[in-house]
Amino acid sequence: MKLDDDIHNYYEHLVLERISQLGLDKTKSPDYLADLCCLALNQVPPRYIRYEVDMAFYLPQSERNQMEMNVEHAISKGLKYLDETEKSRKDNIEEIE
């Protein structure tokens, strides 16, 4: 049995939307963005849907707001982690040189 190709985690949409709102898609590398997506998505519960319209129609606004806040927090934590990791790597390289 194979899952329908339309089934996906709605949080993926919200994470990508937030990344775009922050302009990170224009300033960060694809590898950085992939790492950020993984870090953020691992911090939120999956919310599988088949069609986007299902979420628009059936999701109460209060729950949508909570999901968006969850994503904002997860992205912030992911950014902090990646920035600290990058700084640590640069510091280690400078010590070696």
- Residue 1 in any domain: the answer is no
- Residue 2 in any domain: the answer is no
- pTM, whole model, 2 decimals? 0.85
Q: pLDDT tens digits, residue range 1-25?
A: 777 788 999 999 999 999 999 999 9
Structural domain total, the chain: 1
Structural domain including 74 reads: 8-96
- Residue 3 in any domain: the answer is no
What is the model's pLDDT at position 93? 67
User: CA nearest 15: which of 74, 63, 58?
Assistant: 74
Yes or no: say if 24 and 36 are a contact pair by the CB < 8 Å rule.
yes
Q: pLDDT tens digits, residue range 56-86?
A: 788 899 999 999 999 999 999 999 999 999 8
Q: Which residues contact 37 (CB under 8 A, 6 or more apart)?
A: 12, 15, 16, 19
Alpha carbon 77 to chain centroid distance? 10
